[in-house]
């Protein structure tokens, strides 16, 4: 009896999450087209690589609980806007804004929110550009509009964020202040590196 219930719940989650997986497939297609077209038109790939991830059911439930919301698929769809996540890694800070413009100017994309942690880094030094967008997924019963969290950052920002994320969980979300301080120092180095790399790139582009 209990196993049947778990099976049923798993089936329902799979049905709920598959639509977000389709949204991620749509995003991958959009980004691949943009990148390949850019390569042909400008002889340049703004996107280094793309990572996608689907939030796990227990994380969705945890986030609903932390927002004091009832556990339901309706609430998850309405209030959890990072069930589908795309991370786009690029070379230069200017690419971040170019890619954002290219995505947001598409007719079927609705921009719900933008958080610019590149212009305004988090106090710990975290840099990335986050956009919550809504895109249609065409199912047999019609179109379903779903939120996708898009994170766009440089290779250097991604390097920093990956290590910080590991350290954050290693210390069970309580990083000692001496390490926090060193992380902030390295975040400043990342910002300086990105700025120098962009200056170099601009110089090279302007060579005769």
| Residue numbers at the binding site for ligand 0O2 (CB under 6 A) | 82, 85, 115, 122, 124, 126, 130, 161, 164-165
| Residue (39 or 124) nearer to ligand 0O2, CB | 124
| Residue (82 or 134) nearer to ligand 0O2, CB | 82
Please report, for residues 41, 84, 148, 194, 204, the alpha-carbon distance to residue 190 in angstroms, rounded to integers and kept in the order given: 30, 27, 27, 6, 21
| Residue (122 or 170) nearer to ligand 0O2, CB | 122
Question: Least separation, in Å, of the C-beta of 74 and ligand 0O2?
Answer: 18
Q: Residue 47 and residue 103: Cα distance in Å, rounded? A: 12
Q: Residue 72 and residue 15: Cα distance in Å, rounded? A: 13
Question: Least separation, in Å, of the C-beta of 113 and ligand 0O2?
Answer: 8
Cα angle, residue 132 at apex, residues 52 and 146 outer, rounded to 5°: 75
Question: Least separation, in Å, of the C-beta of 2 and ligand 0O2?
Answer: 30
| Residue (110 or 115) nearer to ligand 0O2, CB | 115
The CB-nearest residue to ligand 0O2 is 126
Question: Least separation, in Å, of the C-beta of 91 and ligand 0O2?
Answer: 20
Question: Least separation, in Å, of the C-beta of 79 and ligand 0O2?
Answer: 9
| Residue (102 or 152) nearer to ligand 0O2, CB | 152
């Amino acid at each position: 009896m209990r196993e049947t219930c778990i099976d049923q719940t798993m089936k329902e989650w799979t049905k709920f999450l598959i639509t977000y997986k389709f949204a991620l497939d749509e995003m991958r297609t959009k980004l691949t087209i943009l990148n390949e077209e850019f390569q042909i038109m400008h002889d340049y790939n703004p996107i280094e690589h793309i990572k996608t991830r689907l939030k796990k059911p227990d994380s969705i439930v945890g986030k609903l609980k932390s927002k004091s919301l009832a556990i339901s698929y309706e609430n998850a769809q309405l209030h959890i806007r990072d069930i589908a996540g795309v991370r786009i890694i690029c070379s230069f800070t200017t690419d971040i804004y170019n890619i954002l413009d290219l995505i947001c100017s598409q007719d079927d994309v609705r921009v719900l929110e933008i958080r610019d942690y590149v212009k305004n880094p988090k106090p710990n030094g975290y840099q990335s550009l986050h956009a919550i967008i809504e895109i249609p997924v065409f199912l047999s019963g019609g179109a379903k509009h779903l939120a996708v969290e898009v994170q766009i950052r440089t290779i250097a920002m991604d390097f920093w964020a990956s290590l910080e994320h590991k350290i954050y969980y290693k210390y069970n979300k309580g990083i000692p202040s001496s390490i926090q301080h060193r992380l902030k120092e390295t975040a400043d180095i990342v910002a300086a590196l990105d700025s120098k790399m962009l200056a170099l790139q601009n110089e090279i582009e302007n060579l005769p």
